[in-house]
Structure 1
Amino acid sequence: MAIDRRAFPCVKDDKVVVEILEIVQNSAGLKLLRIGANEAAKMLHKGKAEFIIIAADTLPLEIVLHLPLLCEDKDVPYVYVPSQQTLGRSAGISRPVTAVAIVKSDKAVLAKSLRRLRELVDSIAQ
């Protein structure tokens, strides 16, 4: 299936996708992950979102296209990953997931990973 060109920045490198999904998995383990487009939007509105990861194969993509606009408004980085199914699995559930939000925390383990994730997204967006 072709990924919609509106899904930008979309990660195409498998190593980077795996790294992003590991950060999602670690966030889920630390209870710092909110699952679903609605929950991600709520965290953005409340100012609690640290990072947003969106599935690029969401059909129709319009379901999640409001998230990048909110992210840019709130100055929160975001990235698209290719698959809903793998995003759901890394979030710790068996269902496909359209988006997740990593919430702000003062846990040092996650802070280092999020800095790395920001660097990856910046390099993709260039």
Structure 2
Amino acid sequence: MDTEDINPKAYPLADAALTKTILDLVQQAANYKQLRKGANEATKTLNRGISELIILSADAEPIEILLHLPLLCEDKNVPYVFVKSKQALGRACGVSRPVIAASITVKEGSQLKPQIDNLRSNIEKLLV
């Protein structure tokens, strides 16, 4: 997948290193049952105020199907980030299908909290 194929609307886009960190965290979140997959589920977690972080895939076709999420994230003050590949996001979510959006959810006493906070601050740096 070339950079040329990436939709300019997919902003902020994580670079390779950050993508790896994000996908690792998604994988852990899936193990800890702190993950919701799909644009609809991600929307629900935002509306319910239980989302820590939204991960979107830049190669969703058409990308408009998930562009309501960044607006909602900004509304709810939840960081969001794009990764290049829905296939990779799907794999990290532990499913064989491509996943265009995922939400890492809030959980009391979660062991992932430090990683989530660390990632949030990295994503906030992208937006500056």
Aligning the two structures, in what range does the TM-score lie when normalised by the shorter sequence? over 0.9
Instruction: Name the structure 2 match of 1:9.
Output: 12
- 2:52 counterpart residue number: 50
Could you tell me the percent identity over the aligned residues? 46
The CA deviation string for residues 45-92 of structure 1, in whole angstroms up to 9 with x for no partner, is 111111100000001000000000110111111000000000000000
TM-score by length of 1: 0.95
| 1:66 matched to 2:68 | yes
Q: Which residue of 2 aligns with 1:31?
A: 33
Q: Which amino acid aligns with 1:72?
A: E
- What's the TM-score once normalised by structure 2's chain length? 0.94
Counterpart check, 1:85 vs 2:87: yes
What amino acid maps onto 1:109 in structure 2?
A: Q
Q: Distance in 1 between matches of 2:42 and 2:97?
A: 17
- 2:24 aligns to what SS in structure 1? helix
Unaligned runs of 5+ in 1: none
What's 1:116 paired with? 118
3-state secondary structure, aligned to 1:109: coil
Matched residues, number:
125
Pairwise CA distance, 1:107? 2.9
Partners of 1:50 and 1:123 lie apart in 2 by 16
Gaps of at least 5 residues in structure 2 are: none
- Tell me how far apart the structure 2 counterparts of residues 63 and 32 of structure 1 sit (CA, whole Å): 23
CA distance in structure 2 between the partners assigned to 1:26 and 1:107 by the alignment:
15
Counterpart amino acid of residue 37 in structure 1 = A
The alpha-carbon deviation at position 108 of structure 1 amounts to: 4.1
SS at match of 1:4: coil
